Structures are given as structure tokens and as C-alpha cells.
Structure 1
């Protein structure tokens, strides 16, 4: 049983959101922050529900699961979730996207629990710019956490930088760092959301501008792995690190789509910018419901569209990037 859509795209990669809460106030995502109060606590997927999601998708051929949010490590049972996913032998890659605020303290425990891929959001190597974008003055601690992640042996360590015109778009600011760090630095084009149109109009910049600079400076496009994300990754013999570009506004971006999504409240999404989600949570309450769950997933995949419509400013239901797990 394989997850294949009407356009012959095969899906072996699941992005699993486990919370919508975050403790940063990134301008492009949650400029006002997100509440995590006890009095208004959302009901996110439980450990048993997450286990049934992982078990089902593993049986359907998924080999890579990325834990996303919000900020996933805010959950008190986060390490338990890592261990749970790691117990499924079909899952070869257990990945995490995080803002890195607990990285220095906890990354060794995460590795022991099964984490082997790590993406950390670092929107600038300038402390002042980092604080302006994220609302947090924690750059030095996060960079120290990245060094520790490499030291404890996390297999792949990547840095995500949301590209913002005039703030963090100077390639030269990053090159000396990549000389000595075995990190893949990925520039992600700023994407429009329901609550982020003003930010998008002010700061959006095409990744093709950096792409042209990389080619001119001798960087070469690398070959993709089957379960890799949409980044076009460039390497250079003079640099220990690599540079990736994620350009969702480029032509044919969706042609190589290989990922599906589960929201923190148990909805099945085909795309970060889709028009709808399919409810799965009612089928996550008992192991006896797994066959019905698989049928609903397969039926849902039949209506996955060929592409998103970001270039037409059609953003679907996505009001903030934390809602489904950007």
C-alpha cells in the first residue's frame, strides 16, 4: 500500500504538528505571540493519538516524519513523542523543526530518544536583526545549541532563514559562517498568510536573486534524496556548509511534492496552503479503527490538487504558519 496521488506523486514524508503554541513573536508568523494559558488550553493530539497516526502512515509507506508546530518543544511530553516515533522501525528519519530555545539544554536527550534530523529557525546571524524579526534576544544561545547538536552527532543539521528583503538577504553575511560549520543554511521565501499580507508586501523577495548570486560564485546544485524537502541545495568546494533555497513562488514548485501534513488537532492536509482539511481525529481513538482510517486517507488523497495558488494570492485556510506547521 503506497500513498500516490492522481499526478503520480509518491508520499513518504509526513509533517506532524503537535502544537500551535509558540514562545517567539516572529513577524512573518505570530507577531503578537500565541497564548499557552491553562484557562484557554487547546486540545492537541494526545500521545496515543499520535502513536496511531505514526503507525498508520508508517504502514502506508511513510519513512520520514518531521515534528512541527508552533514550537514543538513546548510540550512537556515532547521527548516521549520522539521516543514513540522512534519505536516504529519503518520510520527511518525522525526530524524536528524548532526555534532552538531549548536546544542547548536538551538536544543530547532528544538524540537518545531517536532524533536524527534537526532544522532550527535562525532568521539572522546579527543579534539585533534576529531580535527585530523574532522578538527574542536569544541568538547566542541558539547558535551554541547548534554547535552542541553537531557535537552530539545529530546526522543532519539545517538552519531555516525566512528571506526578508532588506533584513537578512545579504548572502555575504552568512558565507564566513558556512566556511567552518557543516550546516545546510536554507533560505525560505516569505509566504503570504491570512494575517500576514502586510508583512508579505513589505518584505517578500524572490529566492531567484540569491540563486543567481550562488551560481555566479561557483556554487553547484546537488542531487536530491527521495525524502528530501523542496529545497534546491547548492554546495561549494571551499565551504563546509551548504545553501538551500525554498522558492514556493517558482514555476513547477509543486511538481515534486512528496509530503503530507497532520495538524495539531488531527486534520489531514495536502498542502500548507490548501482550502480544506480532512478530519481524522474521530478515527484515532482505537486501534480497531485503523482500516477505516487508511480508507479515509486514501480517499482524501484522491482530491489533492496539482498545485497551490500562492502566485494568485490564494492562501487557502492558512491564517498563520503555526496553524498547520509551516
Structure 2
């Protein structure tokens, strides 16, 4: 076993047991799941400091030599698609827009993994200046993290007064064809009264809104189950203005349960990661900014691909390491269970 300095904790990594694994190329695990959705974190840096994610001073910086290069990211994405059956790739952070070579990464992946949807989760700060170039490079759509359309609430939650830039980024992204544009909002006690206004704004702007229960992935370690706003409480608040009819998930692996709003066709989604866990249908695999495979947001077990890649491993050797990491994936995170222990890494250091 070796240790890797990832900026937040020191995590143990190594080869995973392949005992009992069927001889298939896909990213299967012991519980019958197959990972088809790849999340690639590009950086720990972010232009905001959201209280449920980042400490006020930001995350400790990752040494440049420990970050995957653009070429390395493209190669691993290509392996995931052509060797491991990945069907969708989403780039995350930190904040992906903090990478100056983001367009290069997108263009390389679009060329080497042709036909696979490439999306990005972003806070949209500064997106108005890059949306057109990202679309030309091959980005297909974006998810924007936006918890409030009230400027004071936004500034208090993110510790930055950047709401006008976010809204400008959304408008330019829509004009550039990065659609369907989805808005992700984390449920927080202080922004719950504004949830109805956020939903109305999204309906007016043609954005699909999904609320997310706050998870114990904050760097400040302030999360407490008894203080969390859950899906039931949110639905009660939304129901004071809108008529909601539950329609369920679009597909089993989709994390959001959907409700028709005022008879449709618009919907609102709720990702109830804590109170309505969807672990049994999870189809995700994650690549950290340092090049380790993380099979679950809440598991600190990571398998190092960067070291093998830089030591000359061929594509099939890298694919086999990845298969081992996913074969040993947990059955579920157990966030709502007594005795749950949160992971060492925060959301900003893992990638969403």
C-alpha cells in the first residue's frame, strides 16, 4: 500500500481485490451494478466558497505536478469509453472554469470519445466569457450550481457577491446551445424560504431545477442530520405556491425524483441523497483531479491511476486497475444510519 498527498487528507491507495469478479470489460461491482457515468474532477480550486462545500480560505492547493494534465485526462476518458463502457462524462471541480486548459480538455475528449455526451457542473462565474468556446470544443450541456436568486442570500451562502455573473453565464450558455440547462440547488435552512422564488425563476428561464439534500461533505464539518432540510420539508414549502404531482425517476439510475409543476410540462426534481437513498441503482465512477478512482463519494478508498499512467502502463493495464476499484465498491453510503462517519475529503476535493 502507498500513500498519496491529495491536499486534504493523506489517503491509502493500492490494488483492489479482483476475487470473484466475472471476466467482463465493463465496470461491474459485487452488487450487480454497472458504472456508465464518469465524473472527472479537474481542480480543487473554486471562485466561490459555498458553506456546504468549501472552507472560507479555500482548500489546500494541489501541487501542479500532482494534477492530471489535459493529455492525461483525455487518455483516461478515452479508456473509460472504449475499454470500460462509460456512456456519459461530466467534468466537475472544485470549479472546472478555473482550468485555463478546459477548452483543450473538452476538445480532446470530444475527439477521442466521439459521440459520448460531455457535460459540466459549474457555478457559472465567468461562464459568459467561455460558453461559446466550450460549445465549439464539444461540450454538450451544463449543470449550474445556484442555490438562491436573492443576491443577499447568494452572497451569504457563497461568501462572494457574484450572482450577476452567474445569471449572465446562464443566459450566454443557453444562447450557445448548452442545453438542456439544469440548475442544482442544495437545500439549506437559510435559503429554504427562497425555494419557491428559485423554482419560479427556473420556470421563467426554461431551466430544469433539481434540489439536493445537503450531504455531510462540507469541509467545515458543520453538517448535522437534525439540522438538514429534507425532501418532505421542501415539498411542503413548494406546495404553498405550486401544485406538484410525483412522477418518479426518469430511469432507475437517475438520482432525481421528479414532480410535475402545475400540471406540466415543466418538472422539478429532488435528489434526496440522505432520506431516499438511491445507492442500489448507482451507476457512477469518479476520477479525482489527482488521478485516483473513487468508487463512491463517501468511501475514502481510492486507486491510483496517475502513478501507473506515468510509469508507462498501457491502456488495458489502466483499465484493469479501474475495474478492480469498481468491483470493490460499497453497497451504499449509510448516511442516514446511526454511527455514520463522513469521508475525509469534502465535496470540493472529491468532485460532484
C-alpha distance in structure 2 between counterparts of 1:288 and 1:278, whole Å: 14
Where do residues 104-253 of structure 1 align in structure 2 (5 Å cutoff)? 104-193=128-217, 195-200=219-224, 203-211=227-235, 217-221=243-247, 223-225=249-251, 229-236=254-261, 241-253=266-278
Partner deviation per Cα, 1:160-218 (whole Å, 9 max, x = no partner): 11100132354322243133222111111111137333244685211232245667823
Asked whether the 8 Å contact 1:180–1:240 carries over to 2, the reply is: no
Give the whole-Å Cα distance in 1 for the aligned partners of 2:32 and 2:137. Answer: 35
Q: Which residue does the alignment assign to 2:288?
A: 263
Relative to structure 1, the CA distance from residue 114 to residue 14 in structure 2 (aligned partners, 3 Å threshold; closer, same or farther) is same
User: Contact 1:188–1:246 at 8 Å: present in 2 too?
Assistant: yes
CA distance, structure 1, for counterparts of residue 313 and residue 60 of structure 2: 33
Give the direction of change, closer, same or farther, for the CA distance of 1:114–1:263 in structure 2 (3 Å limit): same
2:345 maps to 319
Q: What is the CA deviation profile of residues 123-154 of structure 1, one whole-angstrom value per residue up to 9, with x for unaligned ones?
A: 11100000000011111221122122112211
Listed one character per residue, the Cα deviations across residues 204-247 of structure 1 (whole Å, up to 9, x for unaligned) are 21123224566782334255257x64111223366674311111
Distance in 1 of aligned mates of 2:255 and 2:40: 17
Are 2:307 and 1:282 equivalent residues in the alignment? Answer: yes
**More displaced 10-residue stretch of structure 1: 112-121 or 175-184:** 175-184
Structure 1: 5+ residue stretches without partners: none
Q: 1:48 offset after TM fit, Å?
A: 2.0
Q: Give the alignment's TM-score, normalised by structure 1.
A: 0.90
- For the 8 Å contact 2:44–2:59, the answer to whether it is kept is no
User: For the Cα contact (< 8 Å) 2:44–2:61, is it kept in 1?
Assistant: no
Instruction: Label 1:115 to 1:53 Cα distance change in 2 as closer, same or farther (>3 A).
Output: same
Kindly indicate whether residue 84 of structure 2 is the aligned counterpart of residue 58 of structure 1: no
Q: Secondary structure at the match of 2:190?
A: coil
Matched, 1:295 2:300: no
Name 2:121's counterpart in structure 1. Answer: 97
CA contact (8 A) 2:245 2:263 kept: no
Checking the alignment, whether the CA contact within 8 Å between 2:293 and 2:302 is kept in structure 1 is yes
Which secondary structure state, in structure 2, belongs to the residue aligned with residue 198 of structure 1?
coil
Q: Distance in 1 between matches of 2:130 and 2:138?
A: 13
2-side partners of 1:194 and 1:179: how far apart? 29
Q: Which residue of 2 aligns with 1:20?
A: 44
- Which residue pairs with 2:58 in the alignment? 34
Aligned residue number for residue 21 of structure 2: none
User: Structure 1 residues 84, 119: CA separation in 2 closer, same or farther (over 3 Å shift)?
Assistant: same
Give the root-mean-square deviation of aligned CA atoms.
2.5
Contact 2:45–2:59 (Cα < 8 Å) also in 1: yes
**Structure 1 residues 318 and 187, CA gap change in structure 2 (3 angstroms):** farther
TM-score normalised by length of structure 2 = 0.84
Runs of at least 5 residues in structure 2 that lack an aligned partner in the other structure: 1-24
